[in-house]
Structure 1
Amino acid sequence: MNDRAPARSPAHRAVAGRLLAALPPSVRREVTEAVDWAGPVALPLVDERTVQSACGVAHVHGRAAGTPEHLAVPYTATVAGVLTALGVHAALLARRRGLALRRVTTSVAQGALLSLTQYLAAATAPDGPADDPAPGVASLVSADGVVCEIETLDPDAWREFWRRLGVEPALAGRGWAPFQRRFATGSCPLPPELRRAAAGHPLAALADAALAGGLSLVALPDDPDPAGLPAPLRSACAPGLAGRRLPPADGALPLSGLRVVEATNRVQGPLAGHLLRLLGARVLRVEQPGGDPMRGLPPLAGGVSARFAALNAGKSVAEIDLATAAGRRAVVELAAEADVFLHNWPPGRAERLGLTAADLWRARPGLVHAAASGFGDAFGPAAPPIGTDYLAQAHGGLAAALRPAGRRPTPSLMTLTDVLGGALCAHGAVAALLRRAGAGRGVRVESSLLSAAALVPRPRVRAPWTPLDQPLRTADGWLALPAAADPVRLARVTGASRQAPDAVAERLTTRATGEWCAALADAGVAAVPVVTELAALARDPAFRAAVAPAPPGGHARPRTPWTFS
């Protein structure tokens, strides 16, 4: 028996297949895809766990706990599935624009690295922070034992919530910085006094304080697969006349010659524009006068936030005040010359600005209008929660699904749905462009963080894990075993007195990671070292073809996740 898993992930196949299902069979056969676990990464990556550990996902997800941890869902395979479907649609679109593309290649490892784009940039910036923030989660536990998640982007609302729980403003203020930075650091070391204050009140009182203070609060359900989750995308063609034909490709990449106008912020929207740019589109960002405030978020690289640059480098910028009629007219004029208009505004803002799909189709009948939101219309006429990653994880069941049985449901502080939502939005935009190429009319396409969360395959009942299902300590670091590793073989190689997982785990602490990886490889077990420093990825020869090192004054970045031929 050999512990090497099949080359393709069932989760990848399921996700890509779901997003490709609408293509007619004759069209689908025009382009083939090749997807494996490792891609250009020169390591024995054979399943979700080895990819998560070797590529840094287990490290970033585990920051909140203080040790590397695996996600109990096939997250990196899901990202790879979306990238696969996006690449296939891009190649099909390119064929209709004169490029003879027939094959798309990507990998689960490249999906994992894409999900770490911002974290890798921060870790390799010239004045980058330490790669080991203090541990801590943002979730609170009420007096009646309910785990809940709060969210706000407003420091005044934060202080008011805690004031209603009896916390002094100065103490509440000490918690604001780690709470606000958790999106960037993957950890939230709140002052223990705040946790004790929350634990002194029942859930009803916490909910009342959140409502009065203007926060969103959700009790975290233990159900990993809640009912009523939305479909990945919703789309509709414009009525009326057809728009202009798409221009022929003017370069080797699938979207060469196409223009995107992007009015986005934070991660989800900019990542979507970033992927469209990697596919060859010319992307113009609409930013407020003075520029996006995220440009100044440390650490800096070349005078700009490394995190911001990781998602926005290579885009041109137009500073426009959307609060003015002249600014809104300027956006309409830009959209009139574009192929895609992309935004991730909260519900109702496009309507208030007069920049809905229907508004812009009057200026550009063939426009693809791609809207990414937090929750779409999942809450109906009721006001949705604040549309951020962690609340989408909570409402989408991921907070429970990504933890094994016996663990409290808690969102990962790695921005899972922001990244997956951005990739899904980019896929929706390219699928809409392909639809436009056939129908000749503009298309409106909508996605959300919640629909991205719903896309991740998960069990209906969470499975228990043994010590071998998590990264394992060695004498000098950490090691990860594939899920299919044979217990008999592990006991024999490690010299464990019995085949029990705890006995094998104990033996692994006696030798260095490299020694164990070599011994296990000789026995046919594809063990890999667990990355615990993201900057090491840019120095590791095994990642040379997948990670571009930092140029002078800059930061490292994942290389484009596709090869087209």
Structure 2
Amino acid sequence: MSLDQDTRPRTPSTTTRTARAVAAELLRRTVGAPPGDRPGRPRWTVLEAGPVGIDAGDERAAQAACGVMHVHGRATGAPAPLTAAYVSAVTGVLAAQGATASLLARARGGPAPHTVTSLAQGALLTVTQYLAAATVADGDPAPPGAVTGLATLVTADAARVEIETLDPTAWAGFWRRLGVPARTAGRGWLPFQSRFGTAVCPLPPELRAAVLAHPLEAVRRAGDAHGVSVAVVGGTTAAPALAPWTVVPGPVALPDPHPPAAPASAPTAQPLAGLRVVESARRVQGPMTGHVLRMLGADVVRVEPPGGDPMRDLPPVAAGCSVRFSALNHGKSVVEADLTTRRGRDAVVALAARADVFLHNWAPGKARDLRLDADALHAVNPRLVYASASGFGTALGPRPPIGTDYLAQVHGGLAAALRPEGEGPAPSLMTVTDVLGGLVLAQAALAGLLTRERTRRGCRVRSSLLSAAALVPRADRRVRLSPLDRPLPTADGLLYLGAEARLHPGALARAVGAAGADAVGARLRSRPTDAWLTVLREAGLPSVAVRTDLAALAADPAFARSVLRADEHLPYARPAAPWTFTDPLSG
């Protein structure tokens, strides 16, 4: 097998270079060095805007146009750029997924379609749950800027800290030890837990004041006493030296009594058609993995506790289910099983016995305690790809912090890398590593499936939020933003300059009729956004409107091919599948 990036002039500039580099590195890890140029090799392409009708699609323009800046900036009151190449990393993983799925389809006897994705489609995928919430009644938490707040706290000795717990009792005990009355601490619990969905954390000021009155060591002792993780948010942007995933071969396979169905023969069919995935996962990371594999054509079966996953009740709710939950889990079938009982565990074993992939993001040690670890499931299905995700793997020792998105950002250097110089380092309250972590595990599962086709044996693949954080390209030091690197007010909204406009401030000033680069901001306030977009397009400096209303995005004709509107089956908008698969012999 070999695969190659399509270098024909489909990509209009070099702004997709970072995404292509991420994809190439992941594919090298997946299939090794390309063995040579052969006819019929699958091709993959990364575009800027793809099917999204915007003028510019570099990293930051995609962030601006597709709502990423809006969601990231909610906590601080206005749209703001992520200053590391997060969308490029996401898009690179998507390109690798499409190419690997194409190779897998060919290994299973089907055609190997050409796969295409884009930075704009990657950006849209990252706001999936926020888009869903914004497009149902009473879904968005508040108008932009009305409710703000980061979760990062500052101690008496000026340490910036992030705390984490999923247990309300631990939360109450932690604050009680810092002298906060129970009722006051209780008012902070809901915004703290809701920040994963709302991207804001408006804590009561008494909680911030309580931490500010204590030195770091006292805050750490309070955390240790009650099982609350406390992490210092440093200024380093350095990424940990971690592989995105690891693969361990499974036992020698026996003849399979239940061979997988043959793939569809149409060149543009979903490449994972005929494969089955069993998923036992909660929150975002694990369900995102299953969501991606389902969009690629796999049949995904969710295992949920009796009565269903509690996340189904997370507001906002439409048609009887949380839209945030449904956005990542629609299209999956569901089997309820109580894993604390022998009968429930046996039900999972029976599902895994006929599955191609089993995936979970259970807490460390839970798989072994349940006797549903890789060894146990390989005993009944040696060809199984056993895929597990965690917060930190073994990178932080045998007793890691609670494995959630925001602590992964801290330990992965993103809390500093995602915010510019001049701002205090703090995790983005957009779930950046949860989403990317789910995508990385999906790519690991695809790599495992491809390996299985070659070796006829299963394997175990592992990834983590921390290993996903390490994948995001970033500068060696915090990025300094100029005024032209930020969203710029116009007469009726905000405009974000494309890469060419930001790189050539003199040409920009001439195009808009400003006396110089320093006067561009004032000049832009004189006319509406659309008028300036036309001027800049004609000057060869394409730019974009900054998306500040996700509900309006779903109705924008420019997104008609990339965002699926609410319908009778799903009462919310959601991104379309971020790949296009085409006949490799065409074009």
- What TM-score does the superposition give when structure 1 sets the normalisation length? 0.96
Q: Find 2:562's aligned residue among 537, 546, 561.
A: 546
Match of 2:46 among 24, 35, 44: 35
Aligned mates of 2:61, 2:511 — CA distance in 1: 19
| Offset from partner CA, 1:443-468 (integer Å, 9 cap, x none) | 10001100000000011112211111
Alignment partners' CA distance in 1, 2:137 and 2:319 = 9
State how far apart, in whole Å, the 1-side matches of 2:253 and 2:78 are: 58
1:239 maps to 2:256: no
Question: 1:270 — aligned with what?
Answer: 287
AA aligned opposite 1:318: V
Among 138, 143, 159, the alignment partner of 2:156 is 143
Kindly provide the CA deviation profile for residues 455-513 of structure 1, in whole angstroms up to 9, marking residues without a partner as x. Answer: 0001111221111111111121100012332111222233333323xx32222222221
Match of 2:6 in 1: none
Aligned residue for 1:102? 113
Deviates more, 1:512-521 or 1:354-363: 512-521
Say if 2:55 and 2:537, in contact at 8 Å, map to a contact too.
Answer: no
Residue by residue over 1:248-274, the C-alpha shift from the partner in whole angstroms, topping out at 9 and shown as x without a partner, is 214721111111110000000001001
Hey, what's the Cα distance between the residues in 1 that align with 2:44 and 2:252?
Answer: 36
Residue 15 of structure 1 corresponds to which residue in structure 2?
A: 22
- Give me the identity figure in percent: 55
Q: Which amino acid aligns with 1:157?
A: A
Specify the code of the residue in structure 1 equivalent to 2:527.
R
Code of the aligned partner of 1:539? A
* Aligned partners of 1:243 and 1:365 also within 8 Å: no
Contact residue 84 and residue 104 of structure 1 kept, 8 A? yes
The number of residues matched between the two structures is 558
Letter of the 1:238 partner, please give it: G
| Contact persistence 1:7–1:37 (CA under 8 A) | no
| Displacement of 1:344 | 0.5
How much has 1:543 moved relative to structure 2? 0.2
Deviates more, 1:361-370 or 1:474-483: 474-483
User: 2:169 aligns to what?
Assistant: 156
- Quote how far apart the aligned CAs of 1:101 are: 2.0
Equivalences for 1:369-380 in 2 at 5 Å?
369-380=386-397
1-structure distance, mates of 2:526, 2:189: 42
- Check the 8 A contact 2:433/2:469 in 1, yes or no: yes
Letter matched to residue 199 of structure 1: L
Q: Which residue of 1 aligns with 2:65?
A: 54
Pick one of 108, 115, 129 that aligns with 2:126: 115
Comparing 240-249 and 540-549, the one that deviates more: 240-249
The one-letter amino acid of 2:13's match is P
Aligned ranges for residues 208-247 of structure 1 at < 5 Å?
A: 208-226=221-239, 228-242=240-254, 244=256, 246-247=260-261
Q: TM-score, normalised by structure 2?
A: 0.92
Q: 1:37-436 residue pairs with structure 2 within 5 A? A: 37-132=48-143, 134-226=147-239, 228-242=240-254, 244=256, 246-250=260-264, 252-381=269-398, 383-436=399-452
Q: CA, structure 1 residues 243+274, in 2 after alignment: closer, same or farther (shift >3 Å)?
A: farther
What code does the residue aligned with 1:436 have? R
Report deviation, 1:130. 4.4
**What is the CA distance between 1:43 and its match in structure 2?**
0.8
2:190 alignment partner AA: A
CA contact (8 A) 1:127 1:300 kept: no
Paired with 2:242 and 2:362, the residues of 1 have a C-alpha distance of 19
Give, in whole Å, the separation in 1 of the partners of 2:557 and 2:253.
54
Aligned pair in 2 of structure 1 residues 68, 321: CA closer, same or farther (>3 Å)? same
2:510 matched residue in structure 1 = 492
Give the match's secondary structure for 2:308: coil
Match of 2:500, SS state, is coil
Shift of 1:404: 1.4
Measured in 1, the distance between the counterparts of 2:524 and 2:443 equals 43
Q: 1:481 aligns with which of 481, 494, 497?
A: 497
SS of 1:484's partner is helix
Of stretches 423-432 and 96-105 in structure 1, the one that deviates more from structure 2 is: 96-105
For 2:15 and 2:255, the matched residues in 1 are separated by: 40
1:386 & 1:317 partners in 2: Cα distance? 28
Runs (4 or more) in structure 1 with deviation over 4 Å come to none
CA distance in 2, matches of 1:535, 1:302: 18
Task: Check the 8 A contact 1:131/1:533 in 2, yes or no.
Answer: no
C-alpha distance in structure 1 between counterparts of 2:251 and 2:397, whole Å: 25
Q: SS of the residue aligned with 1:286?
A: strand
Cα RMSD between the aligned structures? Answer: 1.6
1:543–1:313 distance in 2 versus 1, CA, 3 Å: same
2:219 maps to a residue whose letter is L
Give the Cα–Cα distance (whole angstroms) in 2 for the partners of residues 407 and 144 of structure 1: 18
User: Is contact 1:127–1:301 with CA below 8 Å preserved after alignment?
Assistant: no
Structure 1 position 451 matched with structure 2 position 467 = yes
Q: Which letter does structure 2 place at the counterpart of 1:48?
A: E
Gaps of 5+ in 1: none
Cα distance between partner residues in 2 of 1:293 and 1:215: 22
Secondary structure of the corresponding residue to residue 387 of structure 2: strand
1:366-420 per-position Cα deviation (integer Å, ceiling 9, x unaligned): 0000001111111222x11111100000000000001112221100000000100
**In structure 1, distance between residues paired with 2:192 and 2:36:** 48
